[in-house]
Amino acid sequence: MGFNPLEEKGIAPEAQIMNWGQMNVEPYDKHSVHPYTRTRVILANGAEYEAVWFGHQFARHAQDIEIKRKLALSRRLEQQQQKLINCLIPGDETVLENTLGYEQVAVDLTAWLARTEPDPVVKAALDFALLEDFDHLYRYSNLLEMMEGKDPADIVGDYTEIFPGRPTSEEHRHPFDGIRKHYDKDTADIITKLHVCTIVAAEQQTMNYYMNSCNRPELMLARGLYQEIGMIEEQHVSHYESLEDPRMTWFERLLVHEYNECHLYWSCMETETDERIRGIWGHLLDCEIGHLHEAAEMMQKYEGRSAESILPNAFLEPTRSQSNKEYVRDVLASQVDLTTDGTDYVDVHELPSDARYFKYQKMVNEDGRVPSVQVIEDHLHEFGQEYRLSTEGEHPVERLREAHAAR
């Protein structure tokens, strides 16, 4: 029998309040941290951020003061968790170094979710955006080498390749083409619900990070690149959140959120290589089990439904941070030319010339100074070549093999 958080005791919410010393833990060492420890920290931070904001939204829609109080307590705890996790990132890791970690999560988390996703519509959504975040990693890597003289390979390790994906400049679409069809809450596998919850949290974290970080560099090009990629992250949040069935009740969504947090920390524990940080994941898992029991009780009390009627009796498999080089190459080779038209994915060459996509492209890319293109041109100019990290052979897409073709 696998791990079932509903059958574990966990820590009661009232016993979870941290003092300042417990919250302000020692950060990792950026020179020796495993790339996937860095990405786990980024992902967990995003999940906590989502937990906090979901709690606020729920409370704003709740009339009963009892419910508001319970949510206030759990939000306070999620805030403490968020702060603990976020401060695992050391002060000497620059915004741009951390940004590479963000895009590495976006690549290897998305690829893992896509590979294990049972619903074909959700899998297609993951594959589609995977190629876009993969391209962001390449653009920011060129910026990092140019601005800070650092080697991106020192951050991503030997796990993730760096070269053009679906070019960022081609990712900008009219918002009407960014909405997908949602899964059905009554027939969807729990794995699908957890995957959507996780990827929304991750993309939303990235969106927020770029919203706040775009004014940190002095270099105009860097500011522009954060703005441009930040707009795509907003597109990704809209894309992924539309997959969730909006007919789920607030209580059901709270339950799924807490269950997902349990699954996340259980996965982190199962896969973490840093002993000290593994201990932190274990403690946070116990805290989440306490939140899950609270959410289950609330659903029982206010809706007369048991958690067991929605959740399975064990976790199947942990979410693994792992290398997905061949998978990314395969998706690139077959889907690089896809764009969207309404809720459908279409080959860009099959769109009529008056499609919304081209009109929007023209509006945003019109003056020729597209930051994601400029960063490669400037790198070429300065270093005589662009930055790429290919370990598995030539680029899978012919038109993206030459530097100047990577528009």
Q: Which of 293, 252, 302 is nearest to 12 (CA)?
A: 293
| Distance of closest approach, residue 264 Cβ to Fe ion, in angstroms | 9
| Distance of closest approach, residue 300 Cβ to Fe ion, in angstroms | 18
Please, which residue, 80 or 374, has the CB nearer to Fe ion?
Answer: 80
User: Which of 133, 135, 228, 252 is in the footprint of Fe ion by CB under 5 A?
Assistant: 133
- Other beta carbons within 10 angstroms of residue 29's beta carbon come to 11
User: Which of 38, 136, 173, 185 is in the footprint of Fe ion by CB under 5 A?
Assistant: 136
Stretch that binds Fe ion, among 91-99, 164-172, 173-181, 234-242 (CB under 5 A): 234-242
Stretch that binds Fe ion, among 78-86, 141-149, 157-165, 382-390 (CB under 5 A): 78-86
Cβ distance 104 to 156 under 8 Å?
yes
| Distance of closest approach, residue 312 Cβ to Fe ion, in angstroms | 19
Q: Is residue 81 within the footprint of Fe ion (CB under 5 A)?
A: yes
- Residue 45: alpha-carbon gap to chain centroid: 10
| Positions 235 through 294 that interact with Fe ion (CB under 5 A) | 236, 258, 261, 288, 291
| Distance of closest approach, residue 84 Cβ to Fe ion, in angstroms | 10
| Distance of closest approach, residue 52 Cβ to Fe ion, in angstroms | 8
DSSP string, 155-187: HHTTSS-BS--S-GGG----GGGG-PPPPPTTT
Phi and psi at residue 341, in whole multiples of 5°?
-140, 105
Helix, strand, or coil here: 347?
A: strand
Q: Which of 269, 332, 270 is nearest to 107 (CA)?
A: 332
User: Which of 58, 67, 70, 78 is in the footprint of Fe ion by CB under 5 A?
Assistant: 78
| Positions 99 through 128 that interact with Fe ion (CB under 5 A) | 106
| Distance of closest approach, residue 315 Cβ to Fe ion, in angstroms | 16
DSSP string, 275-286: HHHHHHHHHHHH
Cβ distance 67 to 90 under 8 Å?
no
Cα maximum dimension of the chain: 67
| Positions 310 through 349 that interact with Fe ion (CB under 5 A) | none
List contacts with Fe ion (CB under 5 A): 48, 51, 78, 81, 106, 133, 136, 203, 233, 236, 258, 261, 288, 291
